[in-house]
């Protein structure tokens, strides 16, 4: 008994004893004393270890983003492709590690899941070896080239945007390291003559595989060949052949040979003579042209032979120059200064393929002025003369500047003697070698004043203007012997004849207007031809009318026919009667060709259109005429005499315009007018006479004349218009006029009303302005006619009849010459 100390030992670290230790206890005798210790123990700590995991990757294409591992199916953790990761605090004992996320091209050696045991407090290692195979594919590109020539420097091939690689024709190249998937393969550097069936090609590359792509290239030939075959020469004799092309290719050939790599085109094969053993060999023909095509072989066979003496002979069977018509003899004269067309007729004595050149030498007064070369127009020289085709002659235009007096022409065929002939000495024309003289005449140019005519009866006005006047002259210029023409347009002339123009001139309006235009011409005193242009209101009938031998005519304005009609009427003015075609009146009995045809070949030089001898003459009434040599010569004779201009030398002075006509044998005297102009008097005496008398019967003037015939006038009227010089005093004394015609009663005119001095009051004439002209009103019984003139130009605007007239004019003032039939009064009125 007594006190004791009791302690407890041997506790694990994780156990805790509550209360004191040791502790004091009192033991009592015979009693048991209890001591209680309370112990709390925590769970004892488990034992752990470490895993050392490593990867080692082999091969050309390692996984780009590494792998992942899991332990015992836990969370994935990354690990590099060749790396070591330590995982600590793994409970000691058995575990499993799994490696994953390797790329498809990578293979893990052994199992991907492996067991391992972690030793408590220790380390265990697990190592993976991974092999990564290639991840790209390859492309094998092949070119297959067909045709020729192949592209000599090969091609380039390019995949996507990669660098181009060269590749020969018919070659293969392999391009590696291409990512799997679609790629574009482009073939480049193709020659222009080569094409590819499909370019670029689309290919799909698979990893670790080689895919093929083939380009089918087709090249076409750009050059050709020519085989020249030589025959007919003795062995060992070199031929003399030259092959020439326009692009500076030239090569001699001495024996049969094939020339290759020739540019396509025409090749001239020229064969020169070869002499061997004293014999001359030549080929026929000596020249030929061969066409070389790309990819083909052309042939030319040169057959040499011993030439026979040539039988061919060329000569010139005449030549002529024409300006619109010409006889086979070439005796129609030309006119000075106008283009002429030369035809040289070359003949061959036999059919041949000879195409000789003609040389023409043009001389003026013996001086050589021009040498012209005329190549053959046909394929060979004709064997007979044929005027009917321009292509059968050697033709050249001789400019008007060379056509004049003293012209002569010398022609020779084959001047360089390039064609072998039996006779080389007969190639000149003329054969004497002396140039052939050509008759060239001078003629005055044609001057025309067109007068647009307005009819009061129907307001129709002929359409002629500065813009279209040359159209009227076209036929005349082409047909007639005119060196040139010049024209102007007069102010509008208003005719106050009461009836409109009729198809058969039954009312005489046509010839009345013609007579007025002639009086107008005489009043105006120029040397021009006057041509009144009318418009007709009927579909067919009279279309023109003109004087024989006087320069006045009228014609219609029909666009398709105006030029023919004007040429026809000009022919009349130049004293030509009708040619017998189309049944005209007043036929020329001396016309030489039956049916009024032109009889010889004509030529329209500007258009180079040949006119057959069966074409009708311009002086008939038939369609589409041309001019005969007969009409042409007659006009040239008439105009060459200068008849038109000769009367115009006189100076202007006071004259009396006396005019009128003989209709159906009856004389008609129109009212006379005092005008200041150049005198116009008859050139010849004749059966008609005009006299001017005083009131006492004294004769102030008088003359006989032959009135001009009007062609195309069904009634064959004759007209006259004269400007008779008269002194002022005689004019004042003039009392009457008298016109006599054989077998008819004389026409005498006196003032219609006996008029004491000053009785005709000027205010009896009323003028007022109207649109486009002036309207006049007057006492027609006192003054049967008023001549209305433009005050500024003096142009006659109307011979107004009948007491009222509306005269077209744009002028501000007009002069009136008021006739009482014999005497005139002058007034100026403002519009
Ligand atoms: Zn006629």
Ligand 1 centre to CA of 550 (Å) is 14
- Cα–ligand 1 centroid distance for 513 (angstroms): 16
**618 C-alpha vs ligand 1 centroid, how far in Å?**
9
For residue 781, tell me if it sits in a domain. yes
- Report the separation in Å between the CA atom of 546 and the middle of ligand 1, taken as the mean of its atom positions: 7
Is pLDDT above 70 for 756? no
- Residue 14 scores a pLDDT above 80: no
The domain of 32 spans 2-41
> Is the same domain home to 164 and 262?
no
- Confidence band (pLDDT; 50, 70, 90) for 745? confident
CATH code at 249? 2.60.40.10
pLDDT band at 378 (very low <50, low <70, confident <90, very high): low
**Residue 641 pLDDT:** 59
Q: Tell me the average pLDDT across 277-293.
A: 82
Q: What is the CATH number of the domain that holds 546?
A: 3.40.390.10
Find the 564 Cα to ligand 1 centroid distance in Å: 11
Q: What is the pLDDT of residue 316?
A: 94
Sign of CA dihedral 502, 508, 513, 515: positive
Banded pLDDT at 221 (limits 50, 70, 90): confident
Lowest mean pLDDT across 100-114, 375-389, 726-740, 749-763:
749-763
pLDDT (0 to 100) of residue 219: 81
Find the 347 Cα to ligand 1 centroid distance in Å: 42
Q: Are residues 398 and 431 in the same domain?
A: yes
Biggest distance spanned by C-alpha atoms of the chain: 224
Which CATH number covers residue 773?
Answer: 2.60.40
User: Are residues 731 and 665 located together in one domain of the fold?
Assistant: yes
Please give the Cα distance from 740 to 669 (Å, whole number). Answer: 10
C-alpha closest to that of 441 among 202, 181, 205, 633: 633
Tell me the CA–centroid distance for residue 745 and ligand 1, in Å. Answer: 30
**Is a pLDDT exceeding 90 seen at residue 493?**
yes
Give the Å distance between the CA of 448 and the centre of ligand 1.
Answer: 19
Q: Tell me, in angstroms, the distance from the centre of ligand 1 to residue 320's CA.
A: 31
pLDDT digits (tens, 9 = 90+) for 527-542: 999 999 999 999 999 9
- Report the separation in Å between the CA atom of 522 and the middle of ligand 1, taken as the mean of its atom positions: 22
**pLDDT at residue 757, rounded to an integer:** 47
Point out the least confidently predicted range of 39-53, 56-70, 705-719: 39-53
CA of residue 554 to ligand 1 center, whole Å: 11
Q: Report CA(622)–ligand 1 centroid distance (Å).
A: 11
Is residue 533 domain-resident?
A: yes
Q: How far is the CA of 482 from the centre of ligand 1 (A)?
A: 20
Q: Does some domain include residue 757? A: no
Separation of 295 CA from ligand 1 center, angstroms? 70
Question: Ligand 1 centroid to 682 CA: how many Å?
Answer: 23
Question: What is the 464 CA–ligand 1 centroid distance (Å)?
Answer: 21
Residue 407 lies in a domain: yes
**pLDDT of residue 81 exceeding 70:** yes
Spacing, Cα 589 to ligand 1 middle (Å) = 15
If we measure between CA atoms, which residue out of 260, 240, 238 comes closest to residue 249?
260
Gap from CA of 633 to ligand 1 centroid (Å): 18
Confidence check: pLDDT of 752 > 70 = no
**Cα 243 to Cα 225, 287, 290, 309, 438, distances in angstroms:** 12, 10, 10, 27, 46
Whether omega for the bond prior to residue 22 falls within 30 degrees of 0, making it cis, is yes
**Mean local confidence (pLDDT), 482-494:** 95
Higher pLDDT, 196 or 711: 711
Distance 739 CA to ligand 1 centre (A): 27
Sign of CA dihedral 553, 554, 557, 561: negative
CA of 368 to the centre of ligand 1 (A): 44
In this predicted model, which residue has the larger pLDDT, 303 or 760? 303
Same domain, 379 and 296: no
Shared domain for 454 and 580, answered yes or no, is yes
Question: Contact 187/210 with Cβ under 8 angstroms?
Answer: no
**Residue 111 covered by a domain:** yes
Question: Looking at the structure, do residues 602 and 546 belong to the same domain, yes or no?
Answer: yes
**Residue 754 within any structural domain of the chain:** no
CA of 462 to the centre of ligand 1 (A): 19
CA–centroid distance, residue 631 to ligand 1 (Å):
13
One domain for residues 410 and 518: no
HEC letters along 782-815: CCCEEEEEECCCCCEEEEEECCEEEEECCCCEEE
Q: Looking at the structure, do residues 660 and 641 belong to the same domain, yes or no?
A: no
**pLDDT digit string (tens) for 162-217?**
888 888 888 888 888 888 888 999 988 888 778 888 889 899 988 878 888 888 88
Q: What span, in angstroms and rounded, lies between the C-alpha atoms of 4 and 518?
A: 188
- Centre of ligand 1 to C-alpha 568, Å, is 6
Measured in angstroms, how far is the CA atom of residue 525 from the centroid of ligand 1?
25
Out of 305, 332, 367, a domain closes at 305
- The answer to whether position 786 is within a domain reads yes
Q: Does pLDDT of 82 surpass 60?
A: yes
**pLDDT tens per residue across span 447-464:** 999 999 999 989 999 999
Compute φ and ψ for 568, nearest 5 degrees.
-60, -45
Residues 33 and 53 reside in one and the same domain: no
Mean pLDDT value across residues 477-499: 94
Q: How many domains would you assign to the chain?
A: 8
User: Residue 322: which CATH number?
Assistant: 2.60.40.1930
Region of poorest pLDDT, from 14-23, 244-253, 273-282, 817-826: 273-282
pLDDT band of 812, cuts 50, 70, 90? confident
Read off φ and ψ for residue 539, nearest 5 degrees.
-75, -35
Q: How far apart are the first and last CA of the chain?
A: 183
- For residues 381 and 347, the answer to whether their CB atoms sit within 8 Å is yes
Which residues, listed in sequence order, are joined to residue 252 by a DSSP beta bridge? 242
Residue 747's SS3 state is: strand
CA distance 674 to 820: 11
Mean per-residue pLDDT of the chain: 90
| DSSP letter string, 583-647 | --SSB-TT--SGGGB--S-EEETTTTEEE-TTSBBTTSS-SS-B--HHHHHHHHHHHHTTHHHHG
Give, in degrees to the nearest 5, the angle at Cα 325 between 579 and 551: 55
Q: Which of 749, 784, 804 is the last residue of a domain?
A: 749
Å from CA of 679 to ligand 1 middle = 28
**Domain assignment present for 421:** yes
376 pLDDT above the threshold of 90: no
Predicted pLDDT at 754: 46
Give the per-residue pLDDT at 52: 92
Distance CA 557, CA 546 (A): 15
Say what percent of the chain tops pLDDT 90.
Answer: 59
251 CA distance to ligand 1 middle (Å): 70
CATH number at residue 175: 2.60.40.1120
3-state secondary structure of 571: helix
Q: Answer with the residue of higher pLDDT: 615 or 177.
A: 615
Query: pLDDT for 761-802, tens place per residue?
Result: 544 788 898 999 999 999 888 889 999 999 999 999 999 998
Return the pLDDT at 621: 96
Q: Which of 87, 113, 132 is the last residue of a domain?
A: 132
Give kind and range of the element (H or E) at residue 14.
none
Phi, psi dihedrals of residue 521, rounded to the nearest 5°: -60, -45
pLDDT bracket for residue 831 (50, 70, 90) = low
Neighbours of 406 (CB within 10 A): 12
| Interval 31-40: pLDDT, tens | 888 888 888 8
Predicted local distance difference test score (pLDDT) of residue 170: 81
**Per-residue pLDDT band at 44 (split at 50, 70, 90):** low
Per-residue pLDDT, 334: 96
The answer to whether residues 657 and 771 belong to one domain is: no
Residues making up the chain, counted from first to last: 831
pLDDT classification of 275: cutoffs 50, 70, 90: confident
Residues 362 and 395 in one domain: yes
Within this chain, do residues 287 and 173 fall inside the same structural domain, yes or no? no
The mean-pLDDT minimum among 140-144, 450-454, 571-575 falls in 140-144
């Amino acid at each position: 008994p007594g006190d004791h100390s009791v302690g407890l030992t041997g506790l694990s670290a994780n156990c805790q004893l509550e209360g004191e230790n040791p502790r004091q206890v009192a033991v009592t005798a015979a009693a048991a004393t209890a001591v209680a210790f309370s112990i709390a123990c925590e769970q004892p700590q488990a034992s752990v270890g470490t895993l050392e995991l490593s990867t080692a990757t082999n091969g050309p294409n390692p996984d780009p983003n590494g792998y992942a591992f899991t332990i015992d199916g836990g969370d994935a953790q990354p690990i590099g492709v060749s790396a070591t990761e330590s995982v600590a605090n793994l409970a000691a004992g058995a575990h499993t590690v799994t490696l994953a996320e390797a790329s498809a091209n990578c293979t893990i050696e052994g199992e991907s899941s492996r067991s391992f045991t972690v030793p408590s407090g220790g380390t265990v290692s697990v190592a993976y070896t991974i092999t990564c195979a290639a991840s790209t594919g390859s492309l094998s590109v092949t070119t297959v080239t067909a045709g020729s020539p192949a592209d000599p420097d090969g091609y380039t091939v390019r995949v996507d945007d990669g660098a181009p690689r060269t590749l020969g024709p018919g070659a293969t190249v392999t391009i590696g390291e291409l990512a799997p998937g679609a790629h574009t393969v482009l073939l480049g550097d193709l020659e222009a003559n080569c094409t590819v069936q499909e370019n670029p090609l689309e290919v799909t590359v698979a990893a670790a595989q080689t895919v093929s792509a083939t380009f089918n290239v087709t090249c076409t030939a750009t050059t050709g060949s020519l085989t020249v075959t030589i025959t007919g020469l003795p062995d060992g004799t070199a031929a003399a052949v030259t092959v020439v092309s326009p692009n500076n290719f030239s090569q001699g050939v001495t024996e049969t040979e094939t020339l290759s790599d020739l540019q396509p085109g025409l090749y001239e094969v020229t064969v020169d003579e070869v002499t061997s053993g004293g014999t001359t060999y030549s080929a026929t023909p000596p020249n030929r042209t061969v066409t070389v095509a790309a990819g083909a072989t052309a042939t030319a066979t040169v057959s040499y032979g011993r030439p026979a003496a040539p039988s061919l002979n060329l000569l010139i069977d005449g030549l002529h120059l024409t300006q619109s018509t010409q006889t086979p003899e070439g005796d129609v004269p030309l006119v000075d200064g106008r283009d002429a067309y030369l035809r040289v007729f070359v003949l061959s004595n036999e059919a041949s393929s000879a195409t000789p050149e003609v040389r023409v030498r043009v001389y003026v007064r013996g001086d050589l002025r021009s040498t012209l070369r005329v190549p053959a127009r046909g394929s060979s020289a004709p064997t007979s003369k044929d005027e009917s085709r321009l292509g059968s002659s050697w033709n050249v235009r001789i400019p008007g500047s060379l056509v004049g007096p003293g012209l002569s022409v010398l022609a020779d065929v084959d001047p360089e003697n390039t064609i072998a002939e039996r006779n080389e000495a007969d190639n000149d024309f003329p054969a004497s070698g002396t140039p052939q003289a050509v008759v060239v005449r001078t003629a005055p140019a044609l001057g025309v004043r067109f007068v647009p005519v307005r009819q009061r009866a129907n307001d129709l006005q002929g359409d002629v203007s500065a813009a279209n006047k040359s159209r009227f002259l076209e036929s005349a210029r082409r047909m007639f012997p005119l060196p040139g023409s010049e024209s102007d347009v007069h102010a509008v002339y208003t005719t106050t004849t009461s009836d409109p123009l009729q198809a058969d001139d039954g009312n005489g309006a046509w010839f009345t207007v013609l007579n007025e235009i002639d009086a107008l011409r005489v009043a105006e005193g120029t040397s021009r031809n006057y041509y009144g242009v009318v418009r007709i209101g009927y579909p067919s009938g009279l279309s023109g009318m003109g004087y024989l031998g006087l320069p006045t005519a009228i014609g219609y304005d029909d666009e398709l026919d105006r030029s023919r009609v004007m040429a026809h009427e000009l022919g009349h003015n130049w004293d030509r009667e009708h040619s017998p075609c189309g049944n005209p009146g007043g036929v020329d009995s001396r016309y030489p060709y039956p049916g009024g045809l032109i009889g010889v070949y004509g030529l329209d030089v500007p258009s180079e259109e040949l006119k057959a001898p069966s074409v009708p003459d311009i002086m008939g009434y038939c369609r589409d005429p041309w001019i005969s040599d007969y009409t042409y010569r007659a006009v040239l004779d008439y105009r060459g005499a200068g008849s038109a201009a000769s009367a115009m030398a006189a100076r202007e002075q006071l004259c009396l315009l006396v005019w009128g006509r003989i209709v159906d044998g009856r004389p008609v005297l129109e009212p006379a007018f005092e005008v200041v102009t150049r005198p116009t008097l008859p050139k010849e005496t004749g059966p008609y006479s005009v006299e001017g008398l005083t009131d006492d019967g004294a004769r102030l003037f008088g003359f006989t004349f032959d009135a001009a015939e009007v062609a195309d006038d069904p009634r064959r009227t004759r007209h006259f218009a004269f400007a008779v010089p008269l002194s002022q005093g005689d004019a004042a004394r003039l009392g009457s006029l008298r016109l006599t015609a054989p077998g008819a009663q004389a026409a005498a005119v006196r003032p219609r009303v006996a008029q004491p001095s000053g009785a005709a009051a000027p205010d009896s004439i009323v003028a007022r302005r109207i649109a486009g002209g002036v309207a006049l009103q007057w006492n027609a019984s006192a003054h049967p006619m008023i001549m209305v003139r433009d005050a500024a130009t003096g142009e006659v605007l109307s011979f107004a009849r009948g007491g009222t007239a509306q005269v077209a004019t744009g002028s501000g003032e007009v002069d009136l010459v008021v006739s009482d039939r014999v005497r005139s009064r002058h007034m100026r009125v403002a519009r």
